Amino acid sequence: MDFETLFEPDTLRLYASGIGVTLELLAVSLLGGLILSIPLAVVRSARSRWWSMPVAAYTFVVRGTPLLVQVYLIYYGVAQLDWVQARWDAMWPWVWFKEPVFCTLVAFVLNTTAYTIELVAGAIRETPHGEIEAAESYGMTHATLMRRIVLPSALRRALPAYGNEVVLMLHATSVASVVPGIVDLTGAANSLYATTYLPFESYIAAAVIYLVLTFVLVAVLRVVERHALAHLRRGGSASQAPTAPDEAQPA
């Protein structure tokens, strides 16, 4: 074992820039995924099948196929379509499809969006009936009810599952290393292995860094959850504890 190679300046720079690329991929994917998935989750949980079915079909297809296929489909597939090639020299947004990072991010965003839609839609479905009935009896329109009552509570309740998705997405970004020209953390390990033929050192270093990133993310998410879900915690102060209506009546 030759772990000293890892601490040479060039190697450290390689891994540092790899971490940067991984975190950028993660941040952009998650941001894009959130922006797309919240409105789509509302559509997914619509009562009319005409609205919910197309979104359900989308999440079914994306969640039923490997991320690697999706990345290849967009990176190699879309870029080889004549229709796209006829446009990508000049026409927006097709010019971006010449960029490997853009193609990869499109695949990542489409992927995480599908998983996030399902977990947010699940939280929307589990909103207590009473809250919705109360809002309706106040005369709220469906849109107001969604915006003021359902979404604020559903998004908070979706947090634990979303935290899981964040960690899975961090790990999923390693797939970017198969795209030529992208050197994320896994790509950095590949590149060190290719020059030194030291597989243990190269990949164990990457694995340890992923592990540390995972633990940091989990810790951050736990703090966010504690704050966002304080109202659901048991054993808090008396004013926060949920009180059943019949208990609230004077004996």
Partner 1 sequence: MNTAYLPYVLAGVGLTLAVATGALVLATLLGIAAAAMRLSNHRVARAIATAYATLIRGVPDLVLMLLIFYGGQIAVNALAQRLGWIDEGGSLDIDPFVAGTITIGFIYGAYFAETFRGAMLAVPIGQSEAAEAFGMTPVQVLVRIVLPQTVRHALPGFTNNWLVLVKSTALVSIIGLTDLMYRAKQAGAATRAAFFYFAFAAAIYLAITTVSLLALRAVERRHARGVRAIDRPAA
Q: State yes or no: residue 215 binds partner 1 (CB under 8 A).
A: yes
Query: Are the beta carbons of 62 and 110 closer than 8 angstroms?
Result: yes
* Options 51, 58, 102, 193; binder of partner 1; rule CB under 8 A: 193
Query: Are the beta carbons of 192 and 198 closer than 8 angstroms?
Result: yes
CB of 114 to partner 1, least distance (A): 13
SS3 of residue 91 by DSSP = coil
Q: State yes or no: residue 80 binds partner 1 (CB under 8 A).
A: yes
Count CA atoms closer than 13 A to 17's CA, side-chain side: 11
Q: How far, in Å, CA of 146 to CA of 149, rounded?
A: 6
First to last CA, the chain: 74
Which is nearer to partner 1, 77 or 163 (by Cβ)?
77
Q: Site map for partner 1, 155-174, x if CB under 8 A? A: ---------------xxxxx
CB of 63 to partner 1, least distance (A): 8
Which is nearer to partner 1, 115 or 135 (by Cβ)?
115
SS3 of residue 48 by DSSP = coil
Query: Are the beta carbons of 183 and 101 closer than 8 angstroms?
Result: no
- Where do contacts with partner 1 occur on this chain (CB under 8 A)? 61, 64-70, 72-73, 76-78, 80-81, 170-175, 177-178, 186, 189-190, 193, 199-200, 203-204, 206-207, 210-211, 214-215
